[in-house]
Amino acid sequence: MDLSRWKNVPQPERKTLEGAYARLEPLNADQHGQALFEAATAPGVEERFRYLFDQPPADISDLRAWADKAAASLDPLFFAVIDRATGRAEGRQALMRIDTAHGVIEIGNIMWGPAISRTRVATEALFLFADYAFSLGYRRFEWKCENANLPSKRAAERFGFSFEGLFRQHMVVKGRNRDTAWFSILDSEWPRLRAGYQRWLQAGNFDASGQQISRLQFDQ
């Protein structure tokens, strides 16, 4: 692979990313705060935040303080995940550890509330980030999680990421050791994966209740 003419890739912009079921909007405390608070504190809150770096918000002012700080950050670059069927912010995610010199970027700080978790909205939210990153010229799109977080590891595999290895004693998070599992998608793999996402996201692949007819799969 000759990269002698490699040049830096651009920083991702604070811009809206539109899908059929999901819309990613740059995080804004005034616009998204109340809905995000409701999504964050819905039943299952402790498990939802178990592996996140932040704590569950104690009240709406706590969430707004977090959102104000997050909205001002360029890395992580936070977006609200909007369910287009309702227009509500039902989650949040970020582009982070942005390395424009080497073309590496990560999706992280994912909090998908119960209204969109394990739905086509969440899957499309992931797709929109990956597609945006590769359209900018990034060579590598990463997913990292606590090794004990089995649902996150299963999600990474479903989304087409390849497991690369384990960083033992990588971090201390909320007073616990974190062994970090690393996953990635490369730019050379994205066209094949992108075609699989596009097939899966077609309206005809879902019944009247939004349940999938065929599972997400990728050609070899």
Task: Give pLDDT, residue 59.
Answer: 97
Q: b vs e for 84-99, b when ≥16 Cβ sit within 10 Å of the residue's Cβ?
A: eeeebbbbbbbbbebb
What distance in Å separates the CA atoms of residue 106 and residue 109, rounded to the nearest whole number? 10
Task: Give pLDDT, residue 220.
Answer: 77
Closest listed residue to residue 98, CA positions, set 11, 159, 29, 170: 11
| pLDDT tens-digit series, residues 47-75 | 999 999 999 999 999 999 999 999 999 99
Residue 163 has a CB neighbour count (10 Å cut-off) of 13
Q: What is the pTM of this model?
A: 0.96
Q: Which residue spans within 58-211 are E strands per DSSP? A: 77-83, 88-99, 104-112, 140-146, 162-173, 176-186
| pLDDT tens-digit series, residues 118-163 | 999 999 999 999 999 999 999 999 999 999 999 999 999 999 999 9
